[in-house]
Amino acid sequence: METTRELRPPGVSEAAKQGGEIRGRWAWVEPSVWTERMLEALEHGVKGGKWFSLIDKVCAKKNLVAAWEHVRRNRGAAGADRVSIEHFGEHAERYLSDLECEIKGGRYRPTPVRRCWIPKPGTNQRRPLGIPTIRDRVAQAALRNVLEPIFERKFVASSYGYRPGRGCKDALRRVTELLKQGYTWVVDIDIASYFDSIDHEFLLADVQEEVADGRVLEMIREMLTVGVLEEDGAVLEPEAGTPQGGVMSPLLANIYLHPVDELLGQAGYESVRYADDQVVMCRSRDEAEAVLALLQAAMTARKLTLHPTKTRISDAVVEGFEFLGYRFCGQGRWPRRKSMKKLRDTIRPLTRRCNGHSLEAIIARINPILRGWFNYFKHSHRNVFPEVDQWVRMRLRSILRKRHHGRGRGRGADHQRWPNAYFTTHGLFTMTEAHVVARQSH
């Protein structure tokens, strides 16, 4: 007969349990870089207070392979050297081996970033987007794999943008919570040309508070000061800023604003920041004015400028405010006008009256757009969704009207000829119905 001792399951040491808990908390990190020993140092504090000898982690082959896989999944256009994702993939072994040798030997130099201009949603303006080469995107991803956990450990809870396990909806949820708690005076922060205004020396000093590896710091400096290839072929040498579009850019942007996050937290203010979009929630106008004065001084000290007209104090109950695509007013929220306009501008080209595709094909093309928009804005006031559905059906009725030799947009008897149920049977995604289901599920 087996004894009680023999039936007892094998014990788990406290050290093993602790190691498993640490790994669980940092499950998102690159495992080829962050060993159990490094994670323990991350949690309990590294010896000397700074991280030394990180460059060997950056150029490790396994890390470079993981970085390449990240870049490959994200796709994206070719950089200044015109090497595409497909071409890089065909010769990945050679490219990664060369990159490993260059970083290890201190010979890595990034290629100028190709600048293109993309439309700014809701406006007639365009904003610059920097496109590094595939090789440089891999180098940046490898560097981020090493540095991100070090800074993620110190980032404050009020920062939500481009952080593991956090996103827009978390930031929006926090804003809603604060409004319910009576924080109805809002300081809406807009930093003028933020990504173009980041001071390189300040940023490197911020990184140097945690990292003492000179070659890693030099690698970051090279990335910050790399030339920008304009559309006309001219190469500009930036004196400040970090190119939007680079893999490291979001992390560096968060590092640069971290001292401001800390300042607001130490002063006891409730802030919600997503990248450079930020609101500070207050209980009174006097408190909001004090926050604004504090932020103006803090931004000036960081060589940043608050936009003179877009930065404002708002009464959320009376005036409302906008944040991350939503308009908040009172206890409710709606998609802001620019968000509505962007949806319509996306749907219009796919639903022109002269469209030669079948109704099923048109619906199949617009459904993913409608679902994606709804999934983000499904917490809006319920009146939003019938309005959007009605507009989409009008576009589809206009196509059918044209095909039956009618003129103008769908109206009048078209609603009886092609009722709402007609489009439902053809598979059209309906936001009103999806909202009802979402509320019941909630």
Give 317-336 as a 3 state SS string: CCCCEEECCEEEECCEEEEC
If pLDDT is split at 50, 70 and 90, which confidence band does 15 have?
Answer: low
How large is the average pLDDT for residues 197-225?
97
Which residues, including other chains, have CB under 8 Å from residue 359's CB and lie 6 or more apart? 396, 399, 400, 426
Mean pLDDT of 189-198: 94
The tens digit of pLDDT for each residue in 91-124 reads 999 999 999 999 999 999 999 999 888 877 656 7
Distance CA(334)–CA(345), nearest Å, equals 18
8 A C-beta contact, residue 183 and residue 100: no
Place of tokens 């323990």: 40
β-pair partners for 327: 322, 334
Cβ 241 vs Cβ 195: under 8 Å: yes
CA terminus-to-terminus distance, the chain: 54
List, for residues 266-301, the tens digit of each pLDDT value. 999 999 999 999 999 999 999 999 999 999 999 999
CA 238, CA 404: separation in Å to the nearest integer?
Answer: 58
Given a cut of 70, whether residue 171 has pLDDT beyond it is yes
- Residues paired with residue 130 on neighbouring β-strands, in sequence order: 115
Question: What is the rounded average pLDDT for all residues in the chain?
Answer: 92
pLDDT for the residue 440: 82
Amino acid 3: pLDDT: 43
- Segment among 148-152, 168-172, 217-221, 437-441 with least mean pLDDT: 437-441
Locate tokens 């019938």: which residue? Answer: 386
Average pLDDT over residues 187-197: 95
pLDDT tens profile 362-401: 999 999 999 999 999 999 999 999 999 999 999 999 999 9
Q: Helix and strand tally (H, E) in the chain?
A: 20, 11
Distance CA 401, CA 366 (A): 19
pLDDT for residue 192 is more than 80:
yes
For residue 442, the model assigns a pLDDT of 61
What is the predicted pLDDT for the residue at 432? 96
pTM above 0.85, yes or no: yes
Measure the CA–CA gap between 229 and 366, rounded to whole angstroms: 36
* 144 neighbors 247 (Cβ within 8 angstroms): yes
**Distance separating alpha carbons of residues 292 and 2, to the nearest angstrom:** 73
Q: Residue 37: is it exposed, middle or buried by C-beta count within 10 angstroms (0-12/13-18/19+)?
A: exposed
Q: Which of 62-66, 185-189, 330-334 has the lowest mean pLDDT?
A: 330-334
Residue 208 has pLDDT above 50, yes or no: yes
Note the residue count of the chain. Answer: 442
Instruction: Please name the residue that has the structure tokens 């790994």.
Output: 23
Structure confidence at residue 94 (pLDDT): 97
Structure confidence at residue 19 (pLDDT): 61
User: If you average pLDDT over residues 147-176, what whole number do you get?
Assistant: 97
Tokens of 394: 């009008």
Structure confidence at residue 53 as a pLDDT band (50, 70, 90): very high
**What are 71's two structure tokens?**
């870049």
The pLDDT assigned to 18 comes to 61
Burial of 82 (0-12, 13-18, 19+ CB in 10 A): exposed
Q: Report how far residue 432's alpha carbon sits from residue 92's, in angstroms, rounded to the nearest whole number.
A: 48
pLDDT band per the 50, 70, 90 thresholds, residue 17? low
Pick the closest to residue 148 from 276, 51, 259 (CA basis): 51
- With contact defined as beta carbons under 8 Å apart, do 132 and 245 qualify? yes
CA distance 118 to 345: 15
